[in-house]
Amino acid sequence: MLRSIISIINHKILNIKVKREGGQTYSSSLRKYFAQRYNIEVGYGTYGCFVPGNIERGTMFGNYCSVGQGVKIFRANHPISYFTTHPLFYNPSMGYVKKYLLEKPSLKVGHDVWIGSNAIILPSCQKIGNGSIIGAGSIVTKDVPPYAIVAGNPAKVIKMRFPEEIIQRLEATQWWLWDKDELIKNKEELERIIRGE
């Protein structure tokens, strides 16, 4: 009972801190909490990924990512080489084994990635490149190149957001390292790059 009360109080304190720090998009306290509690790293300006259970431990999000509702990130599949796919023989929550026995590769999501609602990222995808877009409802089975737009089941590259020259110029700025005030201040410069000026 006492543990439950302490948890409620801590949650309320965290909510107050998050509001004071500009909401989930900018809150350093929320990022610290998710890193410590869930082993999920969330970069500055990234939002929508603070959903325990939908995103597995070891996931790393860069800065300024947009994550839609219902996105699920899985880091392990049921084993197909065992005599059974049931978790009794690899998941300790089933009471037979002492530790989790399947490999869980981490997922690194780059900067400025948009993951549409209800997308599913499978363990065979371990990297999503900067500036990429994953269409809503897509099932991502392999790594996503930088600035690619992918969609479908399985997700495939539909097109690139920009020509290679513009991608190189954007990457050279490393704008995602700027805080929101600096980003707003340099908006025109970035728009000129996109226009090819």
Which secondary structure element, helix H or strand E, spans residue 38, and what is its range?
helix 28-38
* Element counts in the chain: helices (H) and strands (E): 5, 12
- DSSP, collapsed to helix, strand or coil, labels residue 141 as coil
- Annotated catalytic residue 86: no
Contact assessment for residue 194 and residue 147, using Cβ atoms and an 8 Å cutoff:
no
Q: How many CB atoms lie within 10 A of CB 87?
A: 18
11, 78, 86, 111: which is the annotated catalytic residue? 78
Comparing C-alpha atoms, which of 55, 24, 61, 63 is closest to residue 41? 61
Give the active site residues: 78
